[in-house]
Structure 1
């Protein structure tokens, strides 16, 4: 899946666990669907494993074949996930 990229998204600590992250992701997915994209992929840094469950809860699944355009060779490999959009 190639296309536009969002390099990072996040929610400030004071606003976490209030649904903002899921809302941001839903808006990005809606934009992707509107643009005719098949799905989305993301990468989770090795130091943020708690995000795996968050994204899994939003329909993302492990994707060892996720293509990352910017990989930091000094960091452990990220955990790739993807979601295929369904009608």
Structure 2
């Protein structure tokens, strides 16, 4: 699961997301919902997801604070699933 947060703080709101199901129960990418799977990164951690990596914080260049670009606050989460119960 990839969560894009509003800021670099894990308790900020999720503004974008991607889900990848590696168990074979659903298609590899899921999450066609308009609602994020979790409201914040902390909520995902509380539900058993492990934080893998957080994006590097790079301040915008002066004069480019409002340019449209990639979402900077990207967090990768993983969750182990017991496949014997799938």
Q: Provide the TM-score with structure 1 as the length reference.
A: 0.29
Give the structure with higher Rg (CA): 2
Q: Provide the TM-score with structure 2 as the length reference.
A: 0.29
More strand by share: 2
